[in-house]
């Protein structure tokens, strides 16, 4: 029966959309960091929604499991098939058309396989901004952004992907197409079904297109690199600066001194913009549509008030785009630099913004008690409560032995996250690697609801099985 199915699938998508030679499928079954290397029957690359629908219908009939895949950047194993080799990968990369751009409605309608950066560019060409930006934007795809509900450096101002989606088109697990490509900002006609598919990590259906919100392009951007006494002061400063700048902050990134030191040591071009050494910094950015110089004045006044109230120890405002880029290089270099400091463990968590400092204090104390000499590097988008609580091994320690304690550390950190009303995954999702943790932290009621939704939409369980749901 199975060779028949593969023949039928090949007939639907044509030779260009069908790969089954292991040499060709290798990039689609391997995760970038090499943590997961799976196998599959075939990689199917449809070119239209109709082809996706036909592929899924055939798979549903045959009970064939499908792994939806975008740019393969999510790094939690969700887009990679299991080692069994019994699944097919359905990659959306060929569905990469911008279907519509409605400048007056401030919307863009794009297919799932559009690379995020391409959509940003299309918006910019129409003098609009797609306010979604992060490190993987050159390769992640819109379908993947939606399926993981990604949030980037502008979440503070514009929300995460979920807040930017007005409509979706989805191929359901039985092959039917739901055309939910509404371009409406107001639509109170019952369950808002699009939200089921956003953040579902491909377990409920295949997103084939989406309507995204655009906003006017900021004409003025102000960026500052600011030394603060500690995370408590940083969070107080965040509230003050939001108020002082008329709520125009779009980024507020925490950077610890240790992270800056690692970045200076390992990444070319990173320099400390301030004369003295401080324990903590924030990279702050504000953007406004109008008012020559007005934002600059508000921004300067806000920082000056911070100096008076001692929430700010020192600050430098970028005078040009080169300086702005130099500030952002520090933030972007943090992750890369950690690789050169031996074993490094990542926790991508969030807590209410008001509890960021409590989390950093408690979690740092806990991991230092567990492993003396461990080097915590908590950084990230604290403007929206997201902390990348990354941990480097003690200097000179055995890397394998340190990495082997990953589960123990994760449990310790996640228990603190739970006590502070936070989330164990703020960005990358659950995929394969956090399923057991999800089972531990979600209430039985919440897990029941999630399973009920899965059973209702995908009764045969063919859509990305054994991912996300414990």
Instruction: Compute the least distance from the CB of residue 83 to ligand FAD, in Å.
Output: 16
Q: Does 71 bind ligand FAD (CB under 6 A)?
A: yes
- Give whichever of 143 and 465 is closer to ligand FAD, judged by the CB atom: 143
- Give whichever of 303 and 387 is closer to ligand FAD, judged by the CB atom: 387
Q: Pattern 421-440, binding to ligand FAD, x per CB under 6 A?
A: ------xxx-x---------
Token code pair at residue 327: 């500030």
Token code pair at residue 400: 């394998």
Give the one residue of 72, 107, 109, 390 binding ligand FAD; rule: CB under 6 A: 72
From residue 143, how far is each of 29, 77, 261 by CA, in Å?
Answer: 18, 16, 37
Q: Does 144 bind ligand FAD (CB under 6 A)?
A: yes
Q: What is the DSSP string of 425-447?
A: -SSS--TTTTHHHHHHHS-HHHH
- Give whichever of 139 and 220 is closer to ligand FAD, judged by the CB atom: 139
Q: Does 152 bind ligand FAD (CB under 6 A)?
A: yes
The CA-CA-CA angle for residues 191, 194, 196, to 5°, reads: 80
Stretch that binds ligand FAD, among 6-14, 73-81, 187-195, 243-251 (CB under 6 A): 73-81
On the 0-12 / 13-18 / 19+ scale of CB atoms within 10 A, 88 is: buried
Give the one residue of 47, 92, 235, 303 binding ligand FAD; rule: CB under 6 A: 92
Rg (CA), the chain: 23
On the 0-12 / 13-18 / 19+ scale of CB atoms within 10 A, 83 is: exposed
Check: CB of residue 416 under 8 Å from CB of residue 368.
Answer: no
Give the one residue of 17, 93, 131, 151 binding ligand FAD; rule: CB under 6 A: 151
Check: CB of residue 229 under 8 Å from CB of residue 254.
Answer: no
- Give whichever of 295 and 386 is closer to ligand FAD, judged by the CB atom: 386
Q: Does 207 bind ligand FAD (CB under 6 A)?
A: yes
Give the β-pairing of 314-317 and 18-19: unpaired
Q: Pattern 121-140, binding to ligand FAD, x per CB under 6 A?
A: -------------xxx---x
**Which spans in 167-244 are helix H?**
194-197, 231-244
424 half-sphere exposure, CB direction, 13 A CA radius: 24
Instruction: Compute the least distance from the CB of residue 204 to ligand FAD, in Å.
Output: 8
DSSP 8-state secondary structure symbol assigned to residue 15? G
Instruction: Compute the least distance from the CB of residue 26 to ligand FAD, in Å.
Output: 16
Instruction: Compute the least distance from the CB of residue 320 to ligand FAD, in Å.
Output: 26
Q: Does 112 bind ligand FAD (CB under 6 A)?
A: yes
Give the one residue of 43, 114, 145, 212 binding ligand FAD; rule: CB under 6 A: 145
Which residue ranges make up the site for ligand FAD (CB under 6 A)?
A: 67-75, 78-79, 92, 112, 134-136, 140-141, 143-145, 147-148, 150-152, 201-202, 206-207, 427-429, 431, 464, 467
């Amino acid at each position: 029966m199975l060779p028949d199915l593969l023949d039928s699938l090949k007939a639907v998508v044509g030779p260009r959309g069908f790969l089954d030679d292991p040499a060709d499928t290798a990039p689609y079954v391997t995760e970038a960091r090499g943590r997961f290397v799976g196998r599959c029957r075939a990689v199917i690359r449809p070119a239209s929604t109709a082809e996706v629908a036909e592929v899924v219908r055939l798979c549903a009939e045959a009970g064939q499991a499908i792994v939806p895949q975008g740019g393969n950047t999510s790094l939690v194993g969700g887009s990679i098939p299991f080692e069994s080799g019994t699944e097919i990968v359905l990659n959306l990369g060929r569905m990469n058309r911008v279907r519509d751009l409605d400048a007056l409605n401030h919307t863009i309608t794009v297919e799932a396989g559009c690379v995020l950066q391409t959509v940003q560019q299309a918006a910019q060409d129409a003098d609009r901004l797609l306010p979604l930006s992060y490190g993987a934007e050159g390769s992640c795809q819109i379908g993947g952004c939606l399926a993981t509900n990604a949030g980037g450096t502008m979440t503070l101002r514009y929300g995460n992907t979920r807040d930017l989606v007005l409509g979706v088109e989805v191929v359901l697990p039985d092959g039917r197409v739901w055309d939910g490509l509404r371009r409406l900002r107001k639509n109170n006609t019952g369950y808002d079904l699009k939200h089921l598919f956003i953040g579902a990590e491909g377990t409920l259906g295949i997103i084939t297109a989406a309507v995204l919100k655009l906003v006017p392009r900021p004409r003025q951007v102000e960026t500052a690199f600011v030394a603060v006494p500690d995370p408590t002061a940083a969070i107080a400063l965040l509230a003050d600066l939001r108020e002082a700048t008329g709520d125009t902050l779009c980024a507020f990134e925490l950077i610890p001194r240790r992270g800056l030191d690692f970045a200076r040591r390992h990444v070319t071009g990173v320099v400390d913009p301030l004369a003295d050494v401080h324990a903590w910094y924030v990279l702050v950015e504000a953007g406004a549509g109008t008012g020559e110089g007005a934002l600059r004045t508000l921004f300067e006044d806000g920082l000056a008030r911070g100096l008076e109230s001692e929430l700010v120890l020192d600050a430098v405002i970028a005078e040009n785009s080169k300086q702005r880029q130099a500030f952002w290089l520090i933030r972007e270099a943090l992750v890369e630099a950690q690789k050169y400091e031996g074993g490094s463990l990542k926790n991508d968590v969030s807590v209410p913004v008001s509890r960021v400092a409590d989390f950093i204090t408690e979690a740092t104390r806990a991991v230092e008690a567990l492993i003396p000499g461990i080097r915590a590097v908590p950084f990230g988008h604290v403007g929206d409560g997201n902390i990348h609580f990354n941990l480097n091994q003690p200097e000179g320690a055995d890397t394998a032995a340190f990495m082997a304690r990953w589960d123990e550390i994760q449990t310790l950190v996640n228990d603190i996250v739970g006590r502070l009303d936070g989330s164990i995954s703020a960005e990358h999702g659950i995929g394969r690697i956090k399923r057991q943790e999800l089972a531990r932290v979600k209430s039985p009621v919440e897990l029941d609801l999630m399973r009920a939704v899965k059973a209702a939409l995908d009764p045969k369980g063919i859509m990305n099985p054994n991912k996300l749901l414990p």
